[in-house]
Amino acid sequence: MDELYFFLEVLIGGLLSGTLYSLVALGFVLIYKASGIFNFAQGTMVLFAALTFVGVLELGAPALLAAVVTLAVMVVLAFAVERFIFRHMVNQPQVILFMATIGLAYFLEGLGQTIWGTEVHVLDLGIPDRGLWLGPILVSQFDLVAAAVVALLVAGLGVFFRTTTMGRALRGVADDHQAALSIGIPLHHVWVAVWSVAGFVALVAGLVWGSKLGVQFSISLVALKAIPVMIIGGFTSIPGAIVGGLIVGASEKLAEVYLGPFVGGGLENWFPYMLAMLVLMVRPEGIFGEKIIERV
């Protein structure tokens, strides 16, 4: 019986930490869906948002104000990215756009360091980080709160995409740029909107990760975990990002605990990538990836 409880504990812990991967993957998926760009800078955006938030907080602002200011900064960033980078790259091959986002990543990293310095900042949002006994199973309270935040965010995005005109326009542009142009949807509005939403997601991710690990540059590397998440879940699917994150989180913890002893540990770091490779071989579009609709 203890064996089972232990298994459940590892599983639940994994799932909960997986929601954090989902959060980062979500930002990638949004931009990829609307513009076909794999935004390498998403991880840096998470870091940049967290740094800005902590910076404003340390200036003495209350948390809510700091969040609003940071969000405004992310929206300005979205405008700037569209105006100064992508407007000049319409119709370039995807790989060129991808390269531009690599440049953007380094730029943002440098900018963040210049403004807010390089030391590690502690971020305490007052989320309790104690163990909580659910019957015989121990779970982290922090992870529970984080998971709830992610769930709320996803539900909100779902409503936004289904019911608002801008949300529908974003999905429309993701489907067919030309059709969107032909009915008068200005692509640059849509790009600014989607980068703003991705900036918002980055802010939430930055706050959660930042208060877990401290706000430091390794946060931008956490984003690398989003890659297997997206490969498993599918690059174009929001539910895919969620489920992918859960799978990665659960599987890496289970692998570490149950397979680790046989190979000397350290599985956690590479197991998700191996899983992603398997998925690529079996189902290249990912579990929820949109298959190209073909009528026969």
Partner 1 sequence: MTDATTATGPDDASGPLLSANNIEVVYNRVILVLKGVSLSVPRGGITALLGANGAGKTTTLKAISHILKGERGEVTRGSIVYDGTETESLTPSDLVRKGLVQVMEGRHCFEHLTVEENLLLGAYTRSESRAERREQLDKTYAYFPRLRDRRHTQAGYISGGEQQMTAIGRALMARPRMILLDEPSMGLAPQLLAEIFGIVDRLNREEKVSFLLAEQNTHAALKHSDYGYILENGRVVMEGASEQLTENSDVKEFYLGLGESGRRGFRDAKHYRRRKRWLS
Q: Is 182 in the site for partner 1 (CB under 8 A)?
A: yes
Interatomic CA distance for residues 170 and 181, integer angstroms:
12
Q: Give yes or no for residue 186 binding partner 1 (CB under 8 A).
A: yes
CA pair distance 258, 3, nearest whole angstrom: 12
Beta-bridge partner residues of 132: 139
Q: How far is CA 120 from CA 102, 107, 211, in A?
A: 24, 19, 11
Which CB sits closer to partner 1, 105 or 192?
192
Among 95, 178, 263, 282, binds partner 1 (CB under 8 A): 178
Residue among 130 and 295 whose Cβ is closer to partner 1: 295
Residue type, 211: S
Interface residue with partner 1, options 98, 168, 239, 285 (CB under 8 A): 168
Q: Could you say whether residue 285 binds partner 1 (CB under 8 A)?
A: no
CB-based contact 20:245 (threshold 8 Å): yes
The three-state secondary structure class of 115 is helix
Rule CB under 8 A: say whether 175 interacts with partner 1: yes
Per CB under 8 A, which region of 10-18, 56-64, 121-129, 164-172 contacts partner 1?
164-172
171 binds partner 1 (CB under 8 A): yes
Task: Report the nearest approach of partner 1 to the CB of residue 32 (Å).
Answer: 14
Nearest to 245 by CA among 139, 153, 138: 153
The whole-angstrom separation of Cα 223 and Cα 23 is 10
Nearer to partner 1, 85 or 138 (CB): 85
Among residues 103, 100, 95, 107, which one has the least CA distance to residue 47?
Answer: 107
Q: Within 84-103, which residues bind partner 1 (CB under 8 A)?
A: 90-91
Nearest distance, CB of residue 161 and partner 1, angstroms: 10
Report d(CA 80, CA 87) in Å as an integer: 10
Interaction of residue 235 with partner 1, rule CB under 8 A: no
Contact set with partner 1 (CB under 8 A) = 90-91, 165, 168-169, 171-172, 174-187, 290, 293, 295
